[in-house]
Structure 1
């Protein structure tokens, strides 16, 4: 299982993903689920992945291969003129990989599905954020839907819906996301640390700050313990039901 979030703010984009994958309770591993490409001063692109690990790794490898093979004239995300065109390239690659698995005689097509969050900015345009489905179609974040979640979304969603503010600082957004991830981790053993973070400043066209929060990270532990205490305190302050 996976949990990943892409968030659009007034000052830029924020991405966070966990790194846990499991094929049963006795086969748990750590795999990166956040990938980025950057041409300084020209474009920066970030991709978050959830779903079948073989599928997501194949998609990332295909995108990477096409950025490094001049003789391969398949579209490259480093050549596309807009983020919309990048989204089209990524969605087509995802659909292509899933279809290859199907043609290979794999049983249960849906077992090889994956969902992606794509965000970034290309010179001449604004930063944009997309949610890409396994069928190869996608939607874009806007004022009414300013963030996307993929993977195990339900446990971490309530705090995002209640506390998100497009004008919040990166520091506030990181705090919010860590609470969301902590709630998910406590409710689902399939999601776990380390947690990867990436920030993107609007119009910088530079790879933003990257951070990894281990399970024992002092700040993450403080957020987890403080949030738990705050919830208990808030519950105690609510009026009792009269019996």
Structure 2
């Protein structure tokens, strides 16, 4: 399994992926899930992948040469000559469909699903930043101000902190920190996600980035973040008042009524226990 997330805010974009594809007692494999397409001054694009590894690797290879027709002129469009991120996302969707046409029937015959999901985002000169989530069918949706981030893979563990922190006005470095906390929470709760991590931080309008980082077990910042996040969560938890069951400020009624099942009704005596 894997976990990848990407954030688009006013100040720029953050892309983060782990590198674990298989986990077990005696089987842990590492493959990179991030690919950067960069032509400084012209375009900067990042693709994150999750799903069947053979499919994602095939999509990567085909994407280099894949083309679609321009919607207006009919001219061939590739990720390297596309004049909009929308057209570049169309090329990626076409690459996904081509792999499905080639490998899908054989996978289904073997009892396997055509399983792939991709995050694709960046900026091309002449337009603003854009971020897309591409599905197995090659169709895609775009991030909005109301939904400024996407996740693929084991997303549930890292989602709460993103929901509570990320807005379009979040500073870029804070967004990067939030993405790393989201990843750390996922690693803590799921063995199938693990280091090393690939992180890209892109500043709006730069059309290039020098903040492309690999984070391994020895990275001091990630170790500090991991330890601090756990300690601070414990401190916040300890600072919240415990529920008071017998007349305190946050009294919880001891009488429980159940209309659906009368057998669950309990009398509110302090000596009795709630179900």
Q: Output the TM-score relative to the length of structure 2.
A: 0.82
Q: Deviations over 1:98-120 (max 9, x none)?
A: 2311233642352x311000001
**8 Å Cα contact 2:23/2:191 also seen in 1:** no
Q: How far is 1:167 from its partner?
A: 2.2
**8 Å Cα contact 2:2/2:192 also seen in 1:** yes
Which residue matches 1:3? 3
Q: How far is 1:202 from its partner?
A: 1.1
Structure 1 pair 23–94 and aligned structure 2 pair: CA distance change class (3 A): farther
Identify which of 117, 120, 123 aligns with 1:118: 120
Equivalences for 1:1-40 in 2 at 5 Å? 1-22=1-22, 24-40=24-40
SS at match of 2:64: helix
Task: Report the number of matched residues.
Answer: 237
**8 Å Cα contact 1:22/1:28 also seen in 2:** yes
Equivalences for 1:88-107 in 2 at 5 Å? 88-104=90-106, 106-107=109-110
The runs of 4+ residues in structure 1 deviating greater than 6 Å are none
Q: Does 1:43 align with 2:43?
A: yes
Which residue matches 2:62? 62
Q: Output the TM-score relative to the length of structure 1.
A: 0.92
Identify which of 225, 234, 237 aligns with 1:235: 237
Equivalences for 1:91-170 in 2 at 5 Å? 91-104=93-106, 106-110=109-113, 112-170=114-172
- After the TM superposition, which of the residue ranges 121-130 and 201-210 deviates more from structure 2? 201-210
Q: Structure 2 CA distance, aligned partners of 1:155 and 1:194?
A: 18
Structure 1 pair 77–213 and aligned structure 2 pair: CA distance change class (3 A): same
Richer in helix (by share): 1
Q: How far is 1:169 from its partner?
A: 2.4
Identify which of 163, 183, 186 aligns with 2:185: 183
